[in-house]
């Protein structure tokens, strides 16, 4: 089948490549010249494990190609046109202007027998209008109506290839498909996927996508609340969740406590759902609490680092381990690290960060003035009064912590992802502070040494206590 995918961002590029891998003839259409140039020389605009190899293999096999937006043949010859343009305004809100412009340009040119599939995540109120928008555009140019379907994506950054190739489910939201042609085409597109195909109304499909992300966010905020209970009563949330995970009604995923969720999807979709629900006169107390707990976790991390260095960050040197919003990605969108770094700097700390994605780290430095980037974890830890782990890259669990201790000014780690082994850190001489891992330890005063700003000056009582 000939498929054209409009918009080669995260969702579009993964979709185009996955469909080509299944043997379809795929053309990717991209508006950004620089992105197009990169793709044409085999360079991906972002990091995603396994994707570059798959793009190269499919381009070489002649099943995948990339063209600019003015290539009308890419639209007119396709059996299925899939739109995957961005719908996030970059400021925490929805924007549908890009989708609207894309539809205006593409829909009139589509073949009469083609099917329009919308893959971007959109607000429900916009999805309700999609059928009329698309077929209104067809009427204007005197062409017959086309089927319009919503096919939400559930791919996670860092594991997008396997999420696409081996999905848990495929959701087919029917917006307008009077003779069933659209459903038949979409089923053919996905015939190699061994997953249940769930056919439903378009708005149901839209809310099934949003609902999944809202539930995942709720699980994370719940885990963070549980972590507070654990701290109060001296329990370890990691053990508690281990037991919960054996209950098939609950499952163990998305229950990692720590600095909370970031990225371009979960925070934005929770905030926007609260906002649009409130505009519609609906109270959504659970989602409001999910949002509040998440914001509190970032603040709590900063508070823990403050306590860890004796009550004031002023003049202290903090090492931040990890900047991307999660491991195996170079994405910094709404990364907790950025909020945290800004707060630490505002409080007078020197912040030296390291992330295995060095290019992402450099971008972080341009987003957070004053943030210093180190090119290894040990270099970031050198002379630090405390370390804060923000992203659970494997490299940090595997770090030689005894060596880390020898280069740090003070051996204190605040583990914002519960990714380290408290016993191992303890054995290496560290004070370990996690989230929900028993009673929060007090940092022993004897581990307080002069800070960078007070080098060579006797430690005052207030700097040495907490």
Nearest residue (CB) to ligand UGA, 76 versus 252:
252
Residue 256 as a binder of ligand UGA (CB under 6 A): the answer is yes
Binding-site member from 36, 84, 265, 332 for ligand UGA (CB under 6 A): 265
Site for ligand UGA in 190-219 (CB under 6 A): 213, 216
Nearest residue (CB) to ligand UGA, 107 versus 217:
217
Q: Choose one: 88-96, 138-146, 153-161, 358-366; the region binding ligand UGA (CB under 6 A).
A: 153-161
- 265 is known as an active-site residue: yes
Residue 86 as a binder of ligand UGA (CB under 6 A): the answer is no
Residue 262 as a binder of ligand UGA (CB under 6 A): the answer is yes
- The residues, any chain, with a CB within 8 Å of residue 400's CB and separated by 6 or more, are none
Binding-site member from 258, 322, 388, 450 for ligand UGA (CB under 6 A): 258
Contact indicator for 386, 433 with CB cutoff of 8 Å: no
Question: Residue-wise over 407-428: b if at least 16 C-beta within 10 A, else e?
Answer: ebbbbbbbbbbbbbebeebeeb
Contact indicator for 374, 353 with CB cutoff of 8 Å: yes
Residue 173 as a binder of ligand UGA (CB under 6 A): the answer is no
Binding-site member from 21, 30, 157, 330 for ligand UGA (CB under 6 A): 157
Residue in 102, 206, 230, 265 annotated catalytic: 265
Q: What is the CA radius of gyration of the chain?
A: 25
Separation CA 85–CA 428 (nearest Å): 49
Residue 435 as a binder of ligand UGA (CB under 6 A): the answer is no
Q: Choose one: 66-74, 129-137, 258-266, 364-372; the region binding ligand UGA (CB under 6 A).
A: 258-266
Contact indicator for 226, 218 with CB cutoff of 8 Å: no
Binding-site member from 153, 328, 355, 415 for ligand UGA (CB under 6 A): 153
Contact indicator for 329, 362 with CB cutoff of 8 Å: no
Binding-site member from 131, 260, 416, 434 for ligand UGA (CB under 6 A): 260
Q: Choose one: 66-74, 249-257, 272-280, 342-350; the region binding ligand UGA (CB under 6 A).
A: 249-257
Q: Which among 82, 136, 147, 140 has a CA at the least distance from the CA of 113?
A: 147
Question: Residue-wise over 58-73: b if at least 16 C-beta within 10 A, else e?
Answer: bbeeebbbbbebeeee
Nearest residue (CB) to ligand UGA, 261 versus 401:
261
Q: Choose one: 45-53, 149-157, 198-206, 376-384; the region binding ligand UGA (CB under 6 A).
A: 149-157
Binding-site member from 261, 354, 393, 396 for ligand UGA (CB under 6 A): 261
Binding-site member from 24, 35, 316, 326 for ligand UGA (CB under 6 A): 326
- x/- string (CB under 6 A) for ligand UGA, residues 107-126? --------------x-----
- The residues, any chain, with a CB within 8 Å of residue 126's CB and separated by 6 or more, are 94, 96, 99
Site size toward ligand UGA (CB under 6 A) is: 21
> How many residues belong to the chain?
466
The sign of the dihedral angle between the CA atoms of 350, 341, 415, 301 is positive
Separation CA 62–CA 70 (nearest Å): 21
Whole-Å CA distances, 21 to 56, 210, 312: 11, 27, 55
Cα within 13 Å of Cα(433), Cβ side: 24
Contact indicator for 4, 82 with CB cutoff of 8 Å: yes
> Which runs of E-coded beta strand occur in 241-373?
317-321, 350-354, 372-373
Q: Choose one: 31-39, 152-160, 186-194, 347-355; the region binding ligand UGA (CB under 6 A).
A: 152-160
Residue 355 as a binder of ligand UGA (CB under 6 A): the answer is no
Chain-centroid distance of CA 454 in Å reads: 39
Residue 135 CB, shortest distance to ligand UGA, in Å, is: 27
Binding-site member from 18, 131, 263, 422 for ligand UGA (CB under 6 A): 263
Q: Choose one: 39-47, 50-58, 259-267, 418-426; the region binding ligand UGA (CB under 6 A).
A: 259-267
Nearest residue (CB) to ligand UGA, 263 versus 411:
263
Catalytic positions, please? Answer: 265
Residue ranges in contact with ligand UGA by CB under 6 A: 121, 153-157, 213, 216, 220, 254-256, 258, 260-263, 265-266, 325-326
């Amino acid at each position: 089948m000939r498929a054209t995918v409009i918009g080669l961002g995260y969702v579009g590029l993964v979709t185009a490549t996955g469909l080509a891998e299944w043997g379809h003839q795929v053309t990717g259409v991209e508006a950004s010249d620089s992105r197009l140039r990169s793709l044409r020389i085999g360079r991906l605009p972002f990091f995603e494990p396994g994707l570059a190899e798959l793009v190269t293999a499919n381009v070489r096999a002649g099943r995948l190609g990339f063209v600019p937006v003015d290539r009308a043949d890419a639209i007119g010859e396709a059996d299925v046109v899939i739109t995957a343009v961005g719908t996030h305004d970059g400021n925490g809100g929805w924007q549908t202007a890009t989708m609207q412009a894309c539809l205006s340009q593409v829909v009139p040119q589509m073949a009469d027998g083609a099917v329009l599939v919308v893959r971007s995540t959109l607000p429900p109120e916009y999805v309700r209008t999609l059928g009329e928008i698309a077929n209104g555009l067809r009427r204007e140019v005197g062409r017959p109506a086309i089927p319009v379907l919503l096919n939400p994506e559930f791919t996670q950054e860092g594991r997008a290839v396997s999420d696409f190739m081996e999905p848990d489910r495929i959701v087919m939201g029917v917006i307008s498909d009077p003779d069933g042609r659209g459903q038949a085409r979409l089923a053919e597109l996905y015939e190699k996927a061994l997953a249940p195909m769930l056919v439903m109304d378009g708005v149901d499909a839209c809310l099934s996508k949003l609902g999944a992300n809202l539930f995942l966010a709720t699980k994370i905020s719940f885990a963070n609340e549980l972590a507070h209970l654990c701290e109060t009563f001296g329990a370890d949330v990691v053990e508690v969740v281990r037991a919960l995970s054996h209950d098939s009604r609950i499952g163990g995923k998305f229950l990692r406590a720590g600095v909370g969720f970031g990225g371009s999807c979960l925070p934005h979709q929770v905030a926007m759902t609260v906002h649009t629900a409130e505009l519609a006169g609906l109270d959504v107390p659970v989602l409001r609490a999910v949002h509040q707990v998440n914001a509190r976790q970032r603040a709590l991390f900063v508070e823990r680092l403050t306590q860890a260095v004796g009550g004031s960050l002023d003049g202290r040197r903090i090492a931040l381990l990890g900047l991307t919003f999660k491991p195996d990605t170079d994405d910094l969108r709404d990364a907790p690290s950025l909020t945290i770094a800004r707060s630490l700097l505002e409080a007078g700390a020197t912040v030296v960060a390291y992330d295995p994605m060095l290019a992402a780290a450099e971008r972080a430095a341009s987003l957070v003035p004053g943030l210093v980037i180190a090119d290894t974890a040990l270099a970031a830890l050198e002379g630090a009064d405390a370390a804060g782990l923000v992203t659970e890259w494997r490299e940090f669990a595997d770090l030689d912590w005894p060596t880390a201790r020898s280069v740090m000014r003070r051996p204190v780690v605040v583990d914002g992802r519960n990714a380290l082994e408290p016993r191992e850190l303890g054995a290496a001489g560290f004070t370990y502070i996690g989230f929900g891992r028993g009673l929060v330890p007090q940092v022993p005063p004897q581990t307080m040494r002069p800070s960078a700003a007070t080098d060579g000056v006797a430690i005052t009582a207030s700097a040495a206590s907490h």
